[in-house]
Structure 1
Amino acid sequence: MKALGIYGGSFDPIHLGHLLLAETAREELGLEKVIFVPAAQSPMKTHRPYISNPDRVALIRLAIRENPAFAFSEVELKREPPSYTVDTLSFFRQAYPGHDLFLLMGQDSLNTITGWHHFQQLFSLATLAVGVRPGFPPQLPPELEAYRTPSARSKGIVFFHNPEVAISSSAIRERLRTGKSVRYWLEPEVLKYILANNLYIE
Protein backbone atom coordinates (compact mmCIF):
# COMPACT_ATOMS: atom_id res chain seq x y z
CA MET A 1 0.00 0.00 0.00
CA LYS A 2 1.22 3.50 -0.81
CA ALA A 3 2.27 5.71 2.08
CA LEU A 4 1.99 9.45 2.64
CA GLY A 5 3.85 11.57 5.16
CA ILE A 6 1.85 14.38 6.78
CA TYR A 7 4.12 17.11 8.15
CA GLY A 8 2.37 19.88 10.03
CA GLY A 9 3.83 23.01 11.57
CA SER A 10 3.93 26.78 11.53
CA PHE A 11 6.77 26.87 8.97
CA ASP A 12 7.37 30.47 9.98
CA PRO A 13 9.56 30.37 7.94
CA ILE A 14 10.22 26.95 6.41
CA HIS A 15 13.96 26.18 6.58
CA LEU A 16 16.52 23.53 5.67
CA GLY A 17 15.92 21.62 8.91
CA HIS A 18 12.28 21.06 7.92
CA LEU A 19 13.30 19.89 4.46
CA LEU A 20 15.96 17.52 5.76
CA LEU A 21 13.56 15.89 8.21
CA ALA A 22 10.96 15.42 5.46
CA GLU A 23 13.42 13.99 2.93
CA THR A 24 14.98 11.63 5.48
CA ALA A 25 11.54 10.38 6.51
CA ARG A 26 10.54 9.93 2.87
CA GLU A 27 13.59 7.81 2.16
CA GLU A 28 13.69 5.74 5.35
CA LEU A 29 9.94 5.10 5.55
CA GLY A 30 9.40 4.59 1.82
CA LEU A 31 6.89 7.42 1.51
CA GLU A 32 5.42 8.18 -1.90
CA LYS A 33 4.97 11.81 -0.93
CA VAL A 34 5.39 14.18 2.00
CA ILE A 35 2.66 16.79 2.37
CA PHE A 36 3.55 19.98 4.27
CA VAL A 37 0.55 21.33 6.17
CA PRO A 38 1.00 24.89 7.52
CA ALA A 39 -1.11 25.59 10.61
CA ALA A 40 -3.36 28.63 10.80
CA GLN A 41 -2.89 28.80 14.57
CA SER A 42 -1.19 26.07 16.57
CA PRO A 43 -3.11 25.38 19.80
CA MET A 44 0.28 24.76 21.43
CA LYS A 45 1.46 28.33 20.71
CA THR A 46 0.20 31.58 22.21
CA HIS A 47 0.89 33.73 19.15
CA ARG A 48 -0.29 33.72 15.57
CA PRO A 49 2.23 33.32 12.71
CA TYR A 50 4.51 36.31 12.19
CA ILE A 51 3.71 36.69 8.49
CA SER A 52 0.54 36.28 6.43
CA ASN A 53 -0.78 32.91 5.33
CA PRO A 54 -0.23 33.76 1.62
CA ASP A 55 3.41 34.61 2.36
CA ARG A 56 3.96 31.37 4.29
CA VAL A 57 2.39 29.39 1.44
CA ALA A 58 4.60 31.21 -1.08
CA LEU A 59 7.70 30.31 0.94
CA ILE A 60 6.68 26.65 1.15
CA ARG A 61 6.05 26.57 -2.62
CA LEU A 62 9.53 27.94 -3.26
CA ALA A 63 11.19 25.61 -0.75
CA ILE A 64 9.71 22.38 -2.12
CA ARG A 65 9.32 23.12 -5.82
CA GLU A 66 12.35 21.11 -6.96
CA ASN A 67 11.37 17.94 -5.08
CA PRO A 68 8.57 16.03 -6.88
CA ALA A 69 7.96 13.97 -3.73
CA PHE A 70 7.04 17.08 -1.74
CA ALA A 71 3.62 18.75 -1.79
CA PHE A 72 1.64 21.07 0.46
CA SER A 73 -1.94 21.48 1.58
CA GLU A 74 -3.83 24.54 2.76
CA VAL A 75 -6.46 22.45 4.54
CA GLU A 76 -5.70 23.99 7.95
CA LEU A 77 -5.54 27.52 6.55
CA LYS A 78 -9.07 27.13 5.19
CA ARG A 79 -10.49 26.15 8.59
CA GLU A 80 -11.16 28.42 11.52
CA PRO A 81 -8.25 28.24 14.01
CA PRO A 82 -6.99 26.62 16.13
CA SER A 83 -5.56 23.85 13.95
CA TYR A 84 -6.15 20.42 15.44
CA THR A 85 -4.05 17.59 14.03
CA VAL A 86 -6.80 15.04 14.57
CA ASP A 87 -9.06 17.00 12.19
CA THR A 88 -6.29 17.23 9.61
CA LEU A 89 -5.59 13.50 9.73
CA SER A 90 -9.30 12.76 9.40
CA PHE A 91 -9.33 14.91 6.25
CA PHE A 92 -6.39 13.05 4.70
CA ARG A 93 -7.80 9.70 5.77
CA GLN A 94 -10.92 10.46 3.72
CA ALA A 95 -8.99 12.02 0.82
CA TYR A 96 -6.55 9.08 0.49
CA PRO A 97 -8.45 5.94 1.54
CA GLY A 98 -5.97 3.66 -0.22
CA HIS A 99 -2.86 5.05 1.50
CA ASP A 100 -1.15 4.51 4.82
CA LEU A 101 -0.63 7.81 6.63
CA PHE A 102 2.49 8.69 8.63
CA LEU A 103 2.38 11.73 10.91
CA LEU A 104 5.90 13.19 10.91
CA MET A 105 7.23 14.91 14.02
CA GLY A 106 10.29 15.46 16.15
CA GLN A 107 10.97 13.99 19.58
CA ASP A 108 9.94 17.28 21.21
CA SER A 109 6.45 17.02 19.71
CA LEU A 110 6.10 13.40 20.80
CA ASN A 111 6.91 14.42 24.36
CA THR A 112 3.94 16.82 24.41
CA ILE A 113 1.45 14.82 22.37
CA THR A 114 -0.66 13.73 25.33
CA GLY A 115 -1.68 17.39 25.63
CA TRP A 116 -2.98 17.51 22.06
CA HIS A 117 -6.70 17.66 21.25
CA HIS A 118 -8.15 14.09 21.29
CA PHE A 119 -4.61 12.70 21.06
CA GLN A 120 -5.76 9.08 21.38
CA GLN A 121 -7.55 9.32 18.03
CA LEU A 122 -4.31 10.24 16.25
CA PHE A 123 -3.05 6.69 16.65
CA SER A 124 -6.05 5.17 14.89
CA LEU A 125 -5.65 7.52 11.92
CA ALA A 126 -1.91 7.40 11.24
CA THR A 127 1.38 5.83 12.22
CA LEU A 128 3.40 8.29 14.28
CA ALA A 129 6.84 8.71 12.71
CA VAL A 130 9.31 10.38 15.05
CA GLY A 131 12.63 11.83 13.93
CA VAL A 132 15.47 11.02 16.32
CA ARG A 133 18.63 13.13 16.39
CA PRO A 134 22.11 11.53 16.31
CA GLY A 135 23.34 10.52 19.75
CA PHE A 136 19.87 10.55 21.29
CA PRO A 137 18.16 7.15 21.63
CA PRO A 138 14.43 7.01 20.86
CA GLN A 139 12.38 7.93 23.91
CA LEU A 140 8.75 6.97 24.31
CA PRO A 141 6.80 8.52 27.19
CA PRO A 142 5.45 5.72 29.43
CA GLU A 143 1.84 6.72 28.78
CA LEU A 144 2.36 5.99 25.05
CA GLU A 145 3.72 2.46 25.44
CA ALA A 146 0.27 1.02 24.75
CA TYR A 147 0.35 2.64 21.30
CA ARG A 148 3.86 1.53 20.27
CA THR A 149 2.89 -1.59 18.30
CA PRO A 150 0.08 -1.80 15.73
CA SER A 151 -3.24 -2.92 17.21
CA ALA A 152 -6.97 -2.38 16.86
CA ARG A 153 -6.60 1.12 18.34
CA SER A 154 -3.17 2.13 17.05
CA LYS A 155 -1.27 2.20 13.77
CA GLY A 156 1.90 2.13 15.85
CA ILE A 157 4.92 4.36 16.40
CA VAL A 158 8.12 4.23 14.34
CA PHE A 159 11.38 6.15 14.57
CA PHE A 160 13.64 7.48 11.82
CA HIS A 161 16.92 9.39 11.74
CA ASN A 162 16.58 13.16 12.01
CA PRO A 163 19.85 14.82 10.88
CA GLU A 164 21.29 17.19 13.47
CA VAL A 165 20.73 20.71 12.15
CA ALA A 166 20.97 23.58 14.61
CA ILE A 167 18.44 25.74 12.76
CA SER A 168 15.14 27.02 14.07
CA SER A 169 12.49 29.36 12.72
CA SER A 170 12.73 31.51 15.84
CA ALA A 171 16.50 31.92 15.41
CA ILE A 172 16.01 32.85 11.75
CA ARG A 173 13.40 35.47 12.65
CA GLU A 174 15.69 36.98 15.27
CA ARG A 175 18.67 37.11 12.90
CA LEU A 176 16.57 38.75 10.20
CA ARG A 177 15.20 41.26 12.71
CA THR A 178 18.72 42.22 13.80
CA GLY A 179 20.19 42.32 10.29
CA LYS A 180 22.30 39.16 10.56
CA SER A 181 22.86 36.70 7.73
CA VAL A 182 20.66 33.62 7.33
CA ARG A 183 22.36 32.51 4.14
CA TYR A 184 22.58 28.69 4.02
CA TRP A 185 19.79 28.42 6.61
CA LEU A 186 17.10 28.67 3.94
CA GLU A 187 16.56 27.67 0.33
CA PRO A 188 18.00 30.55 -1.76
CA GLU A 189 14.65 31.38 -3.37
CA VAL A 190 13.01 31.46 0.06
CA LEU A 191 15.59 33.95 1.28
CA LYS A 192 15.14 36.08 -1.84
CA TYR A 193 11.39 36.25 -1.27
CA ILE A 194 11.82 37.15 2.40
CA LEU A 195 14.25 39.96 1.63
CA ALA A 196 12.26 41.26 -1.35
CA ASN A 197 9.11 41.51 0.77
CA ASN A 198 10.79 42.74 3.97
CA LEU A 199 9.42 39.84 5.99
CA TYR A 200 10.35 39.33 9.66
CA ILE A 201 12.03 42.74 9.78
CA GLU A 202 9.67 44.21 12.39
Structure 2
Amino acid sequence: MFKEGVKIGIYGSSFDPITNVHLWTASTVAHRKKLDYVIFLPSIGEARRDKKLQTQDVHREEMVKMAIANNPKFILDTYEMNVLPQQQYTYYTMEYFREMFSKAKVFFIMGADLLVDIAEGKWRMAEELIENNQFIVMARNGINMLQTISRSPLLRNHDDGRFQLLDKGLDMEISSTYIREEFARGGEPQYLLPNACYQYIKENQLYREIIR
Protein backbone atom coordinates (compact mmCIF):
# COMPACT_ATOMS: atom_id res chain seq x y z
CA MET A 1 0.00 0.00 0.00
CA PHE A 2 2.78 2.44 0.91
CA LYS A 3 6.18 2.88 -0.69
CA GLU A 4 9.35 1.74 1.03
CA GLY A 5 10.56 4.11 3.71
CA VAL A 6 7.21 5.82 4.31
CA LYS A 7 6.83 6.74 7.99
CA ILE A 8 3.51 5.96 9.65
CA GLY A 9 2.38 6.73 13.19
CA ILE A 10 -0.32 4.59 14.84
CA TYR A 11 -2.34 6.86 17.13
CA GLY A 12 -4.71 4.89 19.33
CA SER A 13 -7.22 6.41 21.72
CA SER A 14 -10.83 5.98 22.76
CA PHE A 15 -11.68 9.17 20.79
CA ASP A 16 -14.79 9.43 22.95
CA PRO A 17 -15.12 12.03 21.50
CA ILE A 18 -12.22 13.08 19.29
CA THR A 19 -11.08 16.60 20.23
CA ASN A 20 -9.12 19.45 18.72
CA VAL A 21 -6.27 18.44 21.03
CA HIS A 22 -6.15 14.99 19.39
CA LEU A 23 -5.93 16.63 15.98
CA TRP A 24 -3.36 19.20 17.04
CA THR A 25 -1.27 16.50 18.72
CA ALA A 26 -1.33 14.25 15.65
CA SER A 27 -0.40 17.15 13.39
CA THR A 28 2.44 18.25 15.66
CA VAL A 29 3.84 14.73 16.02
CA ALA A 30 3.69 14.24 12.25
CA HIS A 31 5.49 17.52 11.68
CA ARG A 32 8.22 17.02 14.26
CA LYS A 33 8.88 13.38 13.47
CA LYS A 34 8.45 13.76 9.70
CA LEU A 35 5.64 11.21 9.53
CA ASP A 36 3.97 10.78 6.18
CA TYR A 37 0.72 9.51 7.68
CA VAL A 38 -0.98 9.18 11.05
CA ILE A 39 -3.50 6.38 11.48
CA PHE A 40 -6.27 7.19 13.95
CA LEU A 41 -7.14 3.95 15.71
CA PRO A 42 -10.27 4.02 17.92
CA SER A 43 -9.55 1.60 20.74
CA ILE A 44 -11.56 -1.36 21.89
CA GLY A 45 -13.98 -0.87 24.75
CA GLU A 46 -11.82 -2.38 27.48
CA ALA A 47 -8.45 -1.15 26.22
CA ARG A 48 -7.89 0.69 29.51
CA ARG A 49 -9.46 -0.62 32.69
CA ASP A 50 -9.86 2.90 34.06
CA LYS A 51 -11.84 4.08 31.04
CA LYS A 52 -15.40 3.24 30.09
CA LEU A 53 -16.70 4.11 26.67
CA GLN A 54 -19.83 6.20 26.69
CA THR A 55 -20.81 5.93 23.03
CA GLN A 56 -21.30 3.11 20.56
CA ASP A 57 -18.47 2.34 18.16
CA VAL A 58 -20.49 3.63 15.21
CA HIS A 59 -20.58 7.11 16.78
CA ARG A 60 -16.89 7.19 17.62
CA GLU A 61 -16.01 6.00 14.12
CA GLU A 62 -18.23 8.58 12.46
CA MET A 63 -16.81 11.45 14.54
CA VAL A 64 -13.21 10.51 13.75
CA LYS A 65 -14.13 10.22 10.08
CA MET A 66 -15.61 13.72 10.09
CA ALA A 67 -12.77 15.22 12.10
CA ILE A 68 -9.96 14.06 9.79
CA ALA A 69 -11.78 14.36 6.46
CA ASN A 70 -9.81 17.38 5.25
CA ASN A 71 -6.30 16.16 6.08
CA PRO A 72 -4.82 13.70 3.54
CA LYS A 73 -2.15 12.66 6.06
CA PHE A 74 -4.77 11.39 8.51
CA ILE A 75 -6.31 7.92 8.06
CA LEU A 76 -9.03 6.15 10.05
CA ASP A 77 -8.63 2.43 10.76
CA THR A 78 -11.18 0.45 12.80
CA TYR A 79 -9.05 -2.65 13.27
CA GLU A 80 -9.30 -2.66 17.07
CA MET A 81 -13.06 -2.28 17.02
CA ASN A 82 -13.36 -5.60 15.19
CA VAL A 83 -10.50 -7.63 16.62
CA LEU A 84 -11.09 -10.99 18.29
CA PRO A 85 -11.04 -11.00 22.14
CA GLN A 86 -7.87 -13.09 22.32
CA GLN A 87 -6.04 -10.50 20.21
CA GLN A 88 -7.08 -7.40 22.12
CA TYR A 89 -3.54 -6.38 22.95
CA THR A 90 -1.39 -3.63 21.46
CA TYR A 91 1.26 -6.21 20.55
CA TYR A 92 -1.14 -7.89 18.10
CA THR A 93 -2.31 -4.52 16.79
CA MET A 94 1.23 -3.51 15.93
CA GLU A 95 1.94 -6.91 14.40
CA TYR A 96 -1.06 -6.36 12.15
CA PHE A 97 0.11 -2.93 10.98
CA ARG A 98 3.75 -3.92 10.56
CA GLU A 99 2.65 -6.83 8.37
CA MET A 100 0.20 -4.69 6.41
CA PHE A 101 2.77 -1.93 5.84
CA SER A 102 5.80 -4.17 5.57
CA LYS A 103 7.81 -1.65 3.52
CA ALA A 104 7.03 1.30 5.79
CA LYS A 105 8.49 2.44 9.10
CA VAL A 106 5.72 2.09 11.67
CA PHE A 107 5.69 3.87 15.04
CA PHE A 108 3.31 3.48 17.97
CA ILE A 109 2.32 6.93 19.27
CA MET A 110 1.51 7.04 22.97
CA GLY A 111 1.45 9.33 25.97
CA ALA A 112 3.99 9.16 28.76
CA ASP A 113 1.25 7.83 31.07
CA LEU A 114 1.16 4.64 29.00
CA LEU A 115 4.95 4.39 29.21
CA VAL A 116 4.55 4.43 33.00
CA ASP A 117 1.89 1.71 32.79
CA ILE A 118 4.25 -0.49 30.78
CA ALA A 119 7.06 0.15 33.24
CA GLU A 120 4.78 -0.87 36.11
CA GLY A 121 3.83 -4.16 34.42
CA LYS A 122 0.22 -3.22 33.64
CA TRP A 123 0.33 -4.22 29.95
CA ARG A 124 -0.05 -7.75 28.62
CA MET A 125 2.71 -8.95 26.28
CA ALA A 126 4.70 -5.80 27.09
CA GLU A 127 8.09 -7.42 26.51
CA GLU A 128 7.13 -8.64 23.04
CA LEU A 129 5.63 -5.24 22.23
CA ILE A 130 8.76 -3.35 23.27
CA GLU A 131 11.15 -5.76 21.55
CA ASN A 132 9.46 -5.53 18.16
CA ASN A 133 8.39 -1.91 17.78
CA GLN A 134 9.40 1.74 17.70
CA PHE A 135 7.65 4.39 19.76
CA ILE A 136 6.92 8.09 19.78
CA VAL A 137 6.20 9.10 23.37
CA MET A 138 4.41 12.37 24.16
CA ALA A 139 4.94 14.30 27.37
CA ARG A 140 2.33 14.23 30.11
CA ASN A 141 2.16 16.60 33.05
CA GLY A 142 4.30 15.48 35.98
CA ILE A 143 5.92 12.48 34.26
CA ASN A 144 9.67 12.30 33.79
CA MET A 145 10.03 10.11 30.70
CA LEU A 146 13.79 9.59 30.98
CA GLN A 147 13.43 8.60 34.61
CA THR A 148 10.59 6.24 33.77
CA ILE A 149 12.79 4.47 31.22
CA SER A 150 15.85 4.35 33.47
CA ARG A 151 13.94 2.83 36.39
CA SER A 152 12.39 0.02 34.34
CA PRO A 153 14.61 -2.99 33.48
CA LEU A 154 12.43 -3.72 30.46
CA LEU A 155 12.51 -0.20 29.05
CA ARG A 156 16.13 0.69 29.79
CA ASN A 157 17.43 -2.52 28.24
CA HIS A 158 15.65 -1.63 25.01
CA ASP A 159 16.58 2.04 25.04
CA ASP A 160 18.46 1.86 21.76
CA GLY A 161 16.70 4.70 19.99
CA ARG A 162 13.31 3.05 19.72
CA PHE A 163 11.80 5.56 22.18
CA GLN A 164 11.52 8.96 20.54
CA LEU A 165 10.50 11.40 23.26
CA LEU A 166 8.55 14.59 22.59
CA ASP A 167 8.83 16.62 25.77
CA LYS A 168 8.19 20.19 24.67
CA GLY A 169 4.88 21.82 23.84
CA LEU A 170 2.72 18.71 23.73
CA ASP A 171 1.28 18.70 27.24
CA MET A 172 -2.33 19.89 26.90
CA GLU A 173 -4.87 19.00 29.56
CA ILE A 174 -8.21 19.43 27.78
CA SER A 175 -9.40 15.82 27.57
CA SER A 176 -12.33 13.87 26.17
CA THR A 177 -13.44 13.34 29.77
CA TYR A 178 -13.61 17.10 30.32
CA ILE A 179 -15.70 17.53 27.19
CA ARG A 180 -18.09 14.71 28.13
CA GLU A 181 -18.59 16.26 31.54
CA GLU A 182 -19.29 19.64 30.00
CA PHE A 183 -21.97 18.16 27.75
CA ALA A 184 -23.50 16.21 30.64
CA ARG A 185 -23.73 19.26 32.89
CA GLY A 186 -25.04 21.64 30.25
CA GLY A 187 -21.68 23.27 29.53
CA GLU A 188 -20.56 24.65 26.18
CA PRO A 189 -17.43 22.89 24.86
CA GLN A 190 -18.15 23.85 21.25
CA TYR A 191 -14.69 25.19 20.48
CA LEU A 192 -12.81 22.24 22.01
CA LEU A 193 -13.72 19.81 19.24
CA PRO A 194 -14.34 19.96 15.49
CA ASN A 195 -17.58 21.75 14.67
CA ALA A 196 -18.91 18.78 12.68
CA CYS A 197 -18.39 16.55 15.74
CA TYR A 198 -20.02 19.09 18.02
CA GLN A 199 -23.09 19.20 15.79
CA TYR A 200 -23.12 15.39 15.56
CA ILE A 201 -23.09 15.06 19.36
CA LYS A 202 -25.95 17.53 19.66
CA GLU A 203 -28.02 15.85 16.94
CA ASN A 204 -27.52 12.37 18.41
CA GLN A 205 -27.88 13.53 22.03
CA LEU A 206 -24.59 11.96 23.13
CA TYR A 207 -22.92 12.43 26.53
CA ARG A 208 -26.09 13.54 28.26
CA GLU A 209 -25.03 11.82 31.48
CA ILE A 210 -21.73 11.13 33.21
CA ILE A 211 -20.75 7.46 33.32
CA ARG A 212 -18.14 6.49 35.88
TM-score by length of 1: 0.90
What is the aligned counterpart of 1:172 among 179, 187, 208? 179
Q: What are the Cα deviations for residues 58-83 of structure 1, in whole angstroms up to 9, with x where unaligned? A: 00011111111001111111113483
What is the aligned counterpart of 2:84 among 60, 80, 83? 80
Change (3 A) 1:14 1:162: farther
What is the aligned counterpart of 1:109 among 114, 134, 141? 114
Partner of 1:153: none
Shift of 1:35: 0.3
Superposed CA RMSD in Å reads 2.0
Partner of 1:8: 12
Q: What are the Cα deviations for residues 140-186 of structure 1, in whole angstroms up to 9, with x where unaligned? A: 33211111114xxxxx1111245332211111111100110002110
Contiguous gaps of at least 5 residues in structure 2: none
Pairing 1:147–2:169 present? no
Shift of 1:47: 5.3
Contiguous gaps of at least 5 residues in structure 1: 151-155
Range 8-17 or range 138-147, more displaced:
138-147
TM-score by length of 2: 0.86
Q: What are the Cα deviations for residues 104-155 of structure 1, in whole angstroms up to 9, with x where unaligned? A: 01111111123211011122332111112589764333211111114xxxxx
Q: What one-letter code is carried by the residue in structure 1 that aligns with 2:73? A: A
What is the aligned counterpart of 1:123 among 126, 130, 140? 130
Partner of 2:26: 22
Q: What one-letter code is carried by the residue in structure 1 that aligns with 2:42? A: P
Report which of the two has the higher share of helix. Answer: 2
Pairing 1:42–2:46 present? yes
Inter-partner Cα distance in structure 1 for 2:44 and 2:71: 24
Inter-partner Cα distance in structure 1 for 2:49 and 2:8: 26
Change (3 A) 1:79 1:162: farther
Secondary structure of residue in 2 paired with 1:34: strand
Inter-partner Cα distance in structure 2 for 1:199 and 1:24: 29
Secondary structure of residue in 2 paired with 1:12: coil
Inter-partner Cα distance in structure 1 for 2:197 and 2:104: 31
Determine if contact 2:112/2:143 at 8 Å carries over to the other structure.
Answer: no
Inter-partner Cα distance in structure 1 for 2:135 and 2:178: 27
Inter-partner Cα distance in structure 2 for 1:192 and 1:60: 13
Determine if contact 1:63/1:187 at 8 Å carries over to the other structure.
Answer: yes
Range 140-149 or range 129-138, more displaced:
129-138
